[in-house]
Amino acid sequence: MNTILLFLLWVCIGASSSNVATTARCEYYNDTLCPDSTNQKCYETQNCGPTDTEKRNHCFVLWQNDSFGNPYIKLKGCFLNNIDCYDQPKCVEKREEPKKSLMFCCCEGDMCNRNFTWEPVSTLSPPSEAVPKPVTGRNEDVLPVALYTLLPVLILAIIVAILYWFYRQRKLAYFNELPTIEPHPLPPPSPILGLRPIQLLEIKARGRFGAVWKAQHRTDTVAVKIFPIQDKQSWLSEQEIFKLPHMDHEDILRFIGVEKRGDNLQAEFWLITAFHEKGSLCDYLKANIVTWNEMCRIAESMARGLMHLHEEIPANKADGYKPAIAHRDFKSKNVLLKSDLTACIADFGLALIFQPDGSAEDGNVGTRRYMAPEVLEGAINFSRDAFLRIDMYACGLVLWELASRCTAQEGPIPEYMLPFEEEVGQHPTLEDMQECVVQKKLRPSIRDTWVFWHFVTRWKNVGTMMQKQDSRLHVWWKEWFCSLAETPHKESS
């Protein structure tokens, strides 16, 4: 009898343990890479990475409700080991709608995030029905009493409405206000002025959120980035970054102002900055090679700019508090070269501000080619340090592009190539980058002709660390940034 009971107990335990759903594949979507969530071609199947016996894979969905309650998907993919996701066969968000309407749900089981719902659990009890009390007495005197009581209130309401109308008319006479940022003791003068006499000369580049023009403003040459009406949010986000305290830095693109041109559906949103004739680092390296001194000058200024962006700066008497900022689309196209071949960082349309009392809820990142391994795996950690490490990885790829076109190497200098271009070509898919960087663990090769530099010999160690996805890599880069300014700018003999 005891043997039979033990056998039945073993069967029950085995049956219950076998019901744990395993997640090997999830539906993947990223609105940064394909903003049309209604297009089925934008959806892909993501293979979740292997886990140890104590961790489990989940699928997740990050979305946002519009003003009509319709979901706008931001991100889908794999999620690693969250206890709130255990034994959840369906992807359901049960919290009441947050302030920014950003929803998140997770589940277990292959492709369980294909469908998702929002079922908020209300904590409010239904209002009790009021039982009307019988009215007693005469009603003849009610109307005069009500008029005497309500007339002063009505007059006061009319006065308040008139004052508010005058206030609105005066406010609309100025340019549309931007989203508010953290106040500081001495705010700088607003760069939002009336329409400037700007003449567009020629288009220099087209990007994800708009076109960049070379333009003439009186006697100055400026750059004008024009956003169409559907990308107004990117225009707002980018100028919010520029208007933070301490952003007037020599290695950050100089901000001049913003304007709105046109009305209704013909509206355009202009972002006006300094113009640099040499263009982006990517375009410059395609047509030019650089000497050792030039390479160090570009790398040093680029490193200073990225470190300034990542740095938290406390408020002082002259300016307010500057939070840490992650660029999230760092690449050679977004590094501009000045006339003296120093670099400045541009394009903050995807940048993320880390306020001390806030947390990152947006997993958007930039160009596939520059995505870090953890991003390609779908194991995004929504923390400040995680996003800053993603920037550092992309910066390492840009430094590789720069070194590949330096004259201080043996033999002929090869033609310019993008990172991983030899492995995945010029237009890689997400699957191409996942196979190359995550599965095969490939990294841009450090050529043997570079080894005779003491400077580049240290890159060999970085290459090994990148192969192993060593967590010390990002610390090493930061130390290297600090020491680069002390490196003697001497040509190799």
∠ CA 432-42-420, nearest 5°, is 20
Q: Going by C-beta distance under 8 Å and a sequence separation of 6 or more, which residues neighbour residue 152?
A: none
Q: What is the 3-state secondary structure (H, E, C) of 106-161?
A: EECCCCHHHCEEECCCCCCCCCCCCCCCCCCCCCCCHHHHHHHHHHHHHHHHHHHH
For 388, phi then psi, to 5°, come to -70, -35
Burial class of residue 42 (count of CB atoms within 10 Å of its CB; 0-12, 13-18, 19+): middle
Residue type, 18: S
Q: What is the CA radius of gyration of the chain?
A: 29
- 3 state SS of 488: coil
Torsion of CA 459, 460, 466, 467, to 10 degrees: 160
For 173-316, where are the alpha helices, taking DSSP H only? 232-242, 281-287, 292-310
Closest to 116 (Cα-Cα) out of 47, 190, 61, 48: 61
User: Contact, 302 vs 251, CB < 8 A?
Assistant: yes
Q: Which residue in the block uniquely carries the two structure tokens 């689309």?
A: 329
- Region of 441 please: left (phi>0), alpha (psi -120 to 50) or beta: left
Q: What share of the chain is helix, strand, coil (3-state, %, to 5)?
A: 35, 20, 45
Owner of token pair 């961790």: 55
Q: Which among 31, 329, 347, 391 is annotated as catalytic?
A: 329
CB 345 within 8 A of CB 273: no
End-to-end CA distance of the chain: 89
Residues 6 or more apart whose Cβ sits within 8 Å of residue 418: 282, 369, 401, 426
**214, 267 contact by CB (below 8 A):** no
Q: Residues 116, 92: contact at Cβ < 8 Å?
A: yes
Let me know if 329 is a catalytic residue. yes
Contact 415, 289 (CB under 8 A): no
Residue 266: both structure tokens together: 């013909």
List the one residue out of 347, 74, 344 whose CA is nearest residue 227: 347
- Point out the residues that are catalytic: 329
